[in-house]
Chain A
Amino acid sequence: MSQMDLPPYATLGQKVWHYAFFVICGLIFFFLIAPILVIIPLSFNAENFFTFTPGMLAFEADAYSLKHYRDFFTNPSWQQALANSVKIAPAATLISVSLGTLAAIGLSQDHVPFRRAIMAILISPMIVPLIISAAGMYFFYSRIGLQGTYLGVVLAHAALGIPFVIITVTATLVGFDRSLTRASASLGANPVTTFFKVQMPLILPGVISGGLFAFITSFDEVVVVLFVGSANQQTLPWQMFTGLREQISPTILAVATILVVISIALLTTVEILRRRSERLRGMSPG
Chain B
Amino acid sequence: MSEATDTGPMLAADGRPLKQSLKRALRAQKLRALMLIAPLLLFVLITFIAPIADMLFRSVENQIVSQTLPRTAQALEDWDSTGGDMPPDDILAAFTYDLVAAAERKDHTRLGTRLNYEMTGISSLFRKTGRRVDDFGEIYRDQFVDLDPAWEKGETWVTLLGDPEWIDEYAAWKAAGGDNEAGAPLFRLKDGIAQVLPETSDAYAQFARIAQVENNDDPSGEEPWAPVYLALYRDLAQGGGIDVASLGLAESALVETTAKEVTRFEAVPLRSLYTDVEDDWADPEVWKTVKTFLPEYTPGYFLSAVDLQKTPDGISAKPENQQLYILLFERTLFMSLVIMGSCVLLGYPIAYLLSNLPMRTSNVLLILVLLPFWTSLLVRTSAWKVLLQQQGVINDVLVWAGIVADDARLVMINNQFGTIVAMTHILLPFMILPLYSVMKTIPPSYVRAAKSLGASNWTAFWRVYFPQSVPGIGAGCILVFILAIGYYITPELVGGTTGTFISNRIAYHISSSLNWGLAAALGTILLAVVLILYWLYDRLVGIDNVSLG
**Contact status B48-A124, CB under 8 Å:** yes
Secondary structure of the B contact surface, majority rule: helix
Chain B hits for A3, CB < 8 A? 356-357, 444, 447
Quick one: which of B33, B45, B58, B382 contacts A107, CB cutoff 8 A?
B33
State how many residues of chain A have any CB contact under 8 Å with chain B. Answer: 95
Give A41 Cβ to nearest chain B Cβ, in Å. Answer: 10
Quick one: which of B385, B392, B543 contacts A120, CB cutoff 8 A?
B543
B29 touches A (CB below 8 Å)? yes
Secondary structure of the A contact surface, majority rule: helix
**Contact status A128-B530, CB under 8 Å:** yes
**Contact status B543-A119, CB under 8 Å:** yes
Q: How far is the CA of A9 from the CA of B44 in the complex (A)?
A: 61
Q: Give how many A-B residue pairs fall within 8 Å (CB-CB).
A: 280
Q: A103-B40, A127-B482 are in contact. Are A39 and B48 (CB under 8 A)?
A: no
Give B163 Cβ to nearest chain A Cβ, in Å. Answer: 35
Chain B hits for A134, CB < 8 A? 488, 507
Q: How far is the CA of A119 from the CA of B40 in the complex (A)?
A: 11
State how many residues of chain B have any CB contact under 8 Å with chain A. Answer: 94
Q: A103-B40, A139-B51, A159-B44 are in contact. Are A129 and B386 (CB under 8 A)?
A: no
**Contact status A28-B350, CB under 8 Å:** yes
Of chain B, the residue at the smallest CB distance from A137 is B51
- List residues of B (511-536) whose CB comes within 8 Å of A's CBs: 511, 516, 519-520, 523, 526-527, 530-531, 534
**Contact status B510-A263, CB under 8 Å:** no
**Contact status A32-B369, CB under 8 Å:** yes
**Contact status A244-B543, CB under 8 Å:** no
- List residues of B (55-84) whose CB comes within 8 Å of A's CBs: 55, 58
B548 touches A (CB below 8 Å)? yes
**Contact status A139-B530, CB under 8 Å:** no
Q: How far is the CA of A53 from the CA of B24 in the complex (A)?
A: 76
Q: List 16 A-B contacts (CB under 8 A).
A: A28-B350, A36-B371, A38-B386, A51-B389, A121-B41, A124-B44, A124-B49, A127-B534, A129-B486, A131-B488, A131-B503, A135-B519, A137-B47, A248-B385, A252-B382, A260-B375
**Apart from A128-B527, A131-B503, A267-B374: 9 A-B pairs, beta carbons within 8 A:** A14-B457, A31-B425, A106-B32, A107-B33, A109-B29, A118-B41, A123-B543, A135-B506, A245-B493
- Which 8 residue pairs across A and B have the least CB separation, nearest first? A129-B486, A106-B36, A136-B51, A103-B40, A140-B51, A3-B356, A136-B55, A131-B503
- Which A residues are within 8 Å of any B CB, using their own CB? 2-4, 14, 17, 21, 24-25, 28-29, 31-33, 35-36, 38-39, 42, 49-52, 95, 99-100, 102-103, 105-107, 109-113, 118-125, 127-141, 143, 155-156, 158-159, 162, 164, 167-168, 171, 213, 216, 219-220, 222-223, 226-227, 237, 240-241, 244-245, 248, 252-253, 256, 259-260, 263-264, 266-267, 270-271, 274, 286
